[in-house]
Chains A and B, each alone.
Chain A
Amino acid sequence: MSPGRHLAIIRAIVAKDLREFSRDRVWKILTPIMLIAYVGLFWLLPSTVEETLTVGVYQRGLGTVMEGLGAAERGLQVVEFDSPTSLAEAVASGESTAGETGGDPIAVGIAFPDDLIPAVAEGRATTVTVYVDSAVPSAQRTAMAAFVREIAYQLAGDVLPVSQLDPQVVVLGVDRAGDQVSPQDRMRPLLAILVLLVESIALAGLVAVEIQSRTAKALVATPATIGDLLAAKGLTGTLLAFGQVVIVLLLIGSFAQEPLLLLTGVLLGSVMMAGVGMLAGSAGRDFMTTLFTSVLFIVPLAVPAFAVFFPGAASAWVQVLPTYGIVQTVVGVTAYGLTWSGAAGYLLMSAAWCLALFGAGWLLLKRRVEAL
Chain B
Amino acid sequence: MNAAVNDPVAPSTGAEPASGAVPAVSVEDLAYRYGDVEAVRGITFEILPGEVFGFLGPNGAGKTTTIRMLTGQLKPYAGTARILGRVVGRDDPETQAHIGVCFEEKNLYDSMSAEENLRFFASLFGIRDLDAGELLRRVGLGDRGKDRVSTYSKGMRQRLMVARALVNRPMVLFLDEPTDGLDPVSSKAIRAIIRDEADRGAAVLLTTHDMWEADELSDRVAFINDGRIYATDTPENLKLRYGKRSVKVRLRDGGAIREETVPLDDPAAGERLRSAVQAEGLMTIHTEESTLENIFVEMTGRALEA
A164 in the interface (beta carbon within 8 A) = no
Q: Which residues in B have their C-beta under 8 angstroms from that of A24?
A: 111
A121 in the interface (beta carbon within 8 A) = no
Closest to B67 in A: A221
Among B73, B126, B164, point to the contact of A223 (Cβ < 8 A): B126
Q: Is the CB of B73 within 8 A of A1?
A: no
Contact with A along B48-86 (1 / 0, CB 8 A): 000000000000000000000001110000000000000
Q: Give the contact stretch, choosing among B13-21, B102-110, B248-256.
A: B102-110
B123 in the interface (beta carbon within 8 A) = yes
Among A215, A221, A225, A226, point to the contact of B101 (Cβ < 8 A): A221
Q: Which residues in B have their C-beta under 8 angstroms from that of A355?
A: none
Contact with B along A220-242 (1 / 0, CB 8 A): 11111111000000000000000
Q: Give the contact stretch, choosing among B37-45, B91-99, B198-206.
A: B91-99
Q: Of residues 200 to 241 in B, which have CB atoms within 8 Å of A's CB atoms?
A: none
Among B105, B111, B120, point to the contact of A23 (Cβ < 8 A): B111
Contact with A along B100-128 (1 / 0, CB 8 A): 01010101111110001000110111100
Q: Of residues 68 to 101 in A, which have CB atoms within 8 Å of B's CB atoms?
A: none
Among B110, B120, B126, point to the contact of A16 (Cβ < 8 A): B120
Q: Is the CB of A217 within 8 A of B120?
A: no
Q: Which residues in B have their C-beta under 8 angstroms from that of A220?
A: 72-73, 91
Q: Which residues in B have their C-beta under 8 angstroms from that of A1?
A: 93-94
A217-B107 CB under 8 A given contacts A5-B126, A9-B124, A226-B91? yes
Contact with B along A1-17 (1 / 0, CB 8 A): 10001001100110010
In this complex, the member of B72, B121, B124, B164 whose beta carbon has the largest number of chain A beta carbons within 10 angstroms is B124
A218 in the interface (beta carbon within 8 A) = yes
Q: Is the CB of A221 within 8 A of B126?
A: no
Among B71, B103, B124, B164, point to the contact of A12 (Cβ < 8 A): B124
Q: Which residues in A have their C-beta under 8 angstroms from that of B97?
A: 222-223
Per the CB 8 Å criterion, the residue count for chain A at the interface is: 26
How far, in Å, is B156 (CB) from chain A's closest CB? Answer: 16
Q: Is the CB of B105 within 8 A of A225?
A: no
Q: Is the CB of B126 within 8 A of A217?
A: no
A194 in the interface (beta carbon within 8 A) = no
Q: Which residues in A have their C-beta under 8 angstroms from that of B116?
A: 19
Q: Which residues in B have their C-beta under 8 angstroms from that of A13?
A: 124
Q: Which residues in A have their C-beta under 8 angstroms from that of B120?
A: 12, 16
A144 in the interface (beta carbon within 8 A) = no
Please report the number of residue pairs spanning A and B whose Cβ atoms sit closer than 8 angstroms: 75
Q: Of residues 1 to 46 in A, which have CB atoms within 8 Å of B's CB atoms?
A: 1, 5, 8-9, 12-13, 16, 19-20, 23-24
How far, in Å, is B157 (CB) from chain A's closest CB? Answer: 11
For the complex, give the distance between the alpha carbons of A224 and B103 in Å.
17
Q: Which residues in A have their C-beta under 8 angstroms from that of B111?
A: 19-20, 23-24
How far, in Å, is A287 (CB) from chain B's closest CB? Answer: 14
Q: Is the CB of A20 within 8 A of B91?
A: no
For the complex, give the distance between the alpha carbons of A163 and B164 in Å.
93
How far, in Å, is B118 (CB) from chain A's closest CB? Answer: 12
A315 in the interface (beta carbon within 8 A) = no
Closest to B120 in A: A16
A219 in the interface (beta carbon within 8 A) = yes
Q: Which residues in A have their C-beta under 8 angstroms from that of B72?
A: 220-221
For the complex, give the distance between the alpha carbons of A1 and B126 in Å.
11
For the complex, give the distance between the alpha carbons of A372 and B73 in Å.
9
A217-B103 CB under 8 A given contacts A20-B109, A20-B112, A24-B111? yes
Q: Which residues in B have their C-beta under 8 angstroms from that of A224?
A: 93, 124
A214 in the interface (beta carbon within 8 A) = yes
Q: Which residues in A have their C-beta under 8 angstroms from that of B94?
A: 1, 223
How far, in Å, is B131 (CB) from chain A's closest CB? Answer: 18
Q: Which residues in B have their C-beta under 8 angstroms from that of A19?
A: 111-112, 116
Q: Which residues in A have their C-beta under 8 angstroms from that of B110?
A: 213
Q: Is the CB of A218 within 8 A of B164?
A: yes
Among B96, B105, B124, B168, point to the contact of A214 (Cβ < 8 A): B105
Q: Which residues in A have their C-beta under 8 angstroms from that of B96?
A: 221-223
For the complex, give the distance between the alpha carbons of A12 and B119 in Å.
10
For the complex, give the distance between the alpha carbons of A8 and B126 in Å.
8
For the complex, give the distance between the alpha carbons of A12 and B94 in Å.
18
A219-B109 CB under 8 A given contacts A1-B93, A1-B94, A225-B91? no
Contact with B along A285-326 (1 / 0, CB 8 A): 000000000000000000000000000000000000000000
Closest to B167 in A: A222
A221-B93 CB under 8 A given contacts A20-B111, A215-B108? no
Contact with B along A99-132 (1 / 0, CB 8 A): 0000000000000000000000000000000000
For the complex, give the distance between the alpha carbons of A222 and B166 in Å.
12
Q: Which residues in A have their C-beta under 8 angstroms from that of B123?
A: 8-9, 12
In this complex, the member of A12, A19, A220, A222 whose beta carbon has the largest number of chain B beta carbons within 10 angstroms is A222
Q: Is the CB of A223 within 8 A of B107?
A: no
How far, in Å, is A227 (CB) from chain B's closest CB? Answer: 8
Among A5, A214, A225, A226, point to the contact of B107 (Cβ < 8 A): A214
Residues of B whose CB lies within 8 Å of any CB of A are 71-73, 91, 93-94, 96-97, 99, 101, 103, 105, 107-112, 116, 120-121, 123-126, 164, 168
- 12 CB contacts below 8 A, A to B, read A12-B124, A13-B124, A20-B112, A213-B109, A221-B71, A221-B73, A222-B96, A222-B97, A223-B93, A223-B94, A223-B96, A224-B124
Lowest 3 A-B CB distances belong to which pairs? A223-B93, A214-B107, A12-B123
Supply 7 further A-B pairs (C-beta < 8 A) apart from A214-B107, A372-B73.
Answer: A23-B111, A213-B108, A215-B109, A218-B108, A221-B71, A221-B72, A222-B168
